[in-house]
């Protein structure tokens, strides 16, 4: 089962977190990542972040990336949103 952990952090303190499960393996890994990110943003009531080259590179290397204020259009009340694949 594909699982992604989404965390909101401010001043190195965890404010919110959630785990999204994707049991549908007919989707590609990329589709599962985007659907999981959409579900995380919906649960946290956030707009979806913009993927910058640094995010793509980090995610490809470590299956983990952070979205900061630069990735969002609206103002954030936290330091960053971090996503991490925890099980494939």
Please, which pLDDT band fits residue 87 given cuts at 50, 70 and 90?
confident
Mean pLDDT computed over 2-17: 96
Other Cβ atoms less than 10 A from the Cβ of 19: the count is 14
Give 18-55 pLDDT, tens digit per residue. Answer: 999 988 889 999 999 999 999 999 999 999 999 999 99
pTM: 0.91
Mean pLDDT computed over 3-20: 96
pLDDT, mean over the chain: 94
The burial of 62, by beta-carbon neighbours within 10 Å (0-12 exposed, 13-18 middle, 19 or more buried), is given as exposed
Is the pLDDT reported for residue 88 higher than 80?
no
With H, G, I as helix, E, B as strand and everything else as coil, classify residue 9.
strand
């Amino acid at each position: 089962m594909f699982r992604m952990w989404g965390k909101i952090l401010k001043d190195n303190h965890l404010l919110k977190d959630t785990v999204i499960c994707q049991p549908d393996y007919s989707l590609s890994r990329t589709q599962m990542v985007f659907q999981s990110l959409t579900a995380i943003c919906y649960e946290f009531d956030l707009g979806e972040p913009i993927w910058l080259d640094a995010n793509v590179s980090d995610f490809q290397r470590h299956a983990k990336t952070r979205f900061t204020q630069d990735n969002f259009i609206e103002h954030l009340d936290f330091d960053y949103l971090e996503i991490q694949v925890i099980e494939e």
